[in-house]
Structure 1
């Protein structure tokens, strides 16, 4: 019997709760990544811990608490929704969602896909950027320490793929229908 194909959607990341501890943990992981802040850690770490985190967390927590949806950040909520819809449309694939930073993490979701013959990693960033590179670097780190997971393909970008452009076109058409056509579309 053929094993399922795996599809791993990867988004940027989010705190797992609208709490000071969760936001601090997330921001620390995110802002210590060399793809996000390209400064020597010896220099950056004190700035992060004594200036950035203490100033940003109280500000962020108030805003997160206002927009949290069903015990999840909007990014996690809508990313899960996308993953669930893809699972319905792709019943022969095992679809999982991971975040580059925070939870659900890449390692745990790759472990869930371990039995798949092939895993396709799809960063949810249409154009290639440092956020995509961060995903690929973390995947490579996992592969380097876990030789069992070696059946991974990646999708680098898709901003110019006809299906993606068509999906954007229809989203815009529906928005025009629902809200009227604006004078200018950027």
Structure 2
């Protein structure tokens, strides 16, 4: 195995920097069958995502899924695609730019550079790390934008970072932030988002917190994700001036025939009108940026499910995206993990 080394290092140059790698799941390069096939192959080949014996899964993936699913997924992506690209990528760029501006204002321009890397697709985590090391970054802070840690998300991100670092001759110091679902600023940002929505659209009969699902057996084998989702709901409900018994936790985006975390979002929304619930608001606390699963699945498909079942009013509360409250949370997470020379942390929760 060969190693990549930095041969032009200037020993008399500026001191090494701390850099920030923001990561998210990723997105196809285009809403086309060809692009989706490339993206889905990488995504569904990750053993953290699909824990099925490799040979069995390889046959299923290559003979049943990849020949059919890319075309269907391409149509769904096309329905939400923007001029600048996929919503996830557009929002991620805005998040990175705003976080960079905030860190520049605090520590000086370029002193704490920020880059974006996607676990699947482009720009890759490897390319983002190389971009940072090219800026003399020797201390790397990795912030996967998954509030509730799961092996399939945060764990997989760690795998990708570690895999690339194995190829470097000079490995930087690394700090990986493994979730932040209990962080006060994250919960505050969620609370403010819900409160603003209630002020504009009225108070719903039910507030549904829909998280991305995972197979039930992942929980049974020790993945803490489901517990972290439940904790998020409880902590948010404690901050809201809204009855806790009207707040629900559900799980979306199940795939395949296995049992996933329950209750399912779609079946829950289908049943609520028969229970007298005619007005719901849905928020997805596990997603840091709006994407296919929120814009098409929740705002589109699940809206139809609720209305067709007899519901009258459905509202989707957008992700935190590049809201100032969300960027402030990211900044505080970074500041809490900076080396001592950057000085004490100043936190404001007003």
Q: TM-score, normalised by structure 1?
A: 0.93
SS of 1:54 mapped into structure 2: coil
Select which of 62, 73, 87 maps to 2:100.
87
Residue 164 of structure 1 aligns with which residue? Answer: 186
Residue 126 of structure 2 aligns with which residue? Answer: 107
Residue 46 of structure 1 aligns with which residue? Answer: 59
Q: How far apart are residue 145 of structure 1 and its match? A: 1.8
Greater helix content: 1
Q: Which has the higher contact order (CA 8 A, sep 6+)?
A: 1
Q: For residues 132 and 198 of structure 2, what CA distance do their matches in structure 1 show?
A: 40
Is there any run of 5+ residues in structure 1 with no aligned partner, and where? none
Please say if residues 143 and 149 of structure 1, whose CA atoms lie closer than 8 Å, have aligned partners that are also in contact.
Answer: yes
Residue 176 of structure 1 aligns with which residue? Answer: 198
Please say if residues 7 and 96 of structure 1, whose CA atoms lie closer than 8 Å, have aligned partners that are also in contact.
Answer: yes
Q: How far apart are residue 125 of structure 1 and its match? A: 0.4
Please say if residues 39 and 120 of structure 2, whose CA atoms lie closer than 8 Å, have aligned partners that are also in contact.
Answer: yes
Structure 1 residue 59 and structure 2 residue 72: aligned?
A: yes
SS of 2:189 mapped into structure 1: helix
Residue 281 of structure 2 aligns with which residue? Answer: none
Residue 40 of structure 2 aligns with which residue? Answer: 27
Q: How far apart are residue 119 of structure 1 and its match? A: 1.4
Instruction: Output one character per residue of 1:22-43: Cα deviation in whole Å (capped at 9) or x when no partner.
Output: 1101100000100111122222
SS of 1:60 mapped into structure 2: helix
SS of 1:157 mapped into structure 2: coil
Structure 1 residue 118 and structure 2 residue 142: aligned?
A: no
Please say if residues 8 and 122 of structure 1, whose CA atoms lie closer than 8 Å, have aligned partners that are also in contact.
Answer: yes
Q: For residues 142 and 110 of structure 1, what CA distance do their matches in structure 2 show?
A: 8
Please say if residues 17 and 71 of structure 1, whose CA atoms lie closer than 8 Å, have aligned partners that are also in contact.
Answer: no
Give the number of the structure whose alpha-carbon radius of gyration is greater.
2
* Number of aligned residue pairs: 186
SS of 2:118 mapped into structure 1: strand
Q: For residues 131 and 171 of structure 2, what CA distance do their matches in structure 1 show?
A: 11
Is there any run of 5+ residues in structure 2 with no aligned partner, and where? 1-13, 105-110, 209-350
Q: For residues 176 and 29 of structure 2, what CA distance do their matches in structure 1 show?
A: 26
Structure 1 residue 136 and structure 2 residue 158: aligned?
A: yes
SS of 1:90 mapped into structure 2: helix
Q: How far apart are residue 121 of structure 1 and its match? A: 0.2
Residue 8 of structure 1 aligns with which residue? Answer: 21
Q: For residues 43 and 37 of structure 2, what CA distance do their matches in structure 1 show?
A: 10
Q: How far apart are residue 49 of structure 1 and its match? A: 1.4
Select which of 151, 154, 177 maps to 1:155.
177
Q: How far apart are residue 169 of structure 1 and its match? A: 1.2
Q: TM-score, normalised by structure 2?
A: 0.51
